[in-house]
Amino acid sequence: MTFPFEILPENILPETYKEYTYDFKVLKRIDDVVIAEQSSEGKVVGYEVYKVQKAPPKEIYGKHYPAKEMSPSASQWGVYGFTVFTLEDAEKKMQLLLNRTATNE
């Protein structure tokens, strides 16, 4: 299934980003599956592996928000996103997500 809205380059998931107290660096992306290195104060603490989520454009209180890519929400974690502690485990989980995505299309 294709996403029916255009996502402008500035709204594509960035290579580096911050969430809460963590810094993330995308190490690998295949289609919409990502491995991101998670660090705190410069020390790697884990890896997040997830299927990129795509939000449609919306308007809230008269303000327009364009379509964008993002990591899964907390309620989607465990289905579309996973935290692991080694890069080897991240690669394995990525392969599982890629296989699951391929069978659902």
pLDDT digits (tens, 9 = 90+) for 7-61: 988 999 999 999 989 999 999 999 999 999 999 999 999 999 999 999 999 999 9
Structural domain includes residue 57? yes
In this model, does residue 102 exceed pLDDT 90?
no
Residue-range definition of the domain harbouring residue 62: 9-104
In this model, does residue 1 exceed pLDDT 70?
no
Q: What is the pLDDT of residue 103?
A: 73
Structural domain includes residue 40? yes
Q: Which of 75, 104, 97, 87 is nearest to 38 (CA)?
A: 87
Q: What is the pLDDT of residue 50?
A: 98
Looking at the structure of the chain, the number of domains it has is: 1
Structural domain includes residue 26? yes
Structural domain includes residue 59? yes
Q: What is the pLDDT of residue 105?
A: 58
Would you say 29 and 42 are in contact if contact means Cβ atoms under 8 Å apart? Answer: no
Query: Cα–Cα distance between 8 and 54 in angstroms, integer?
Result: 12
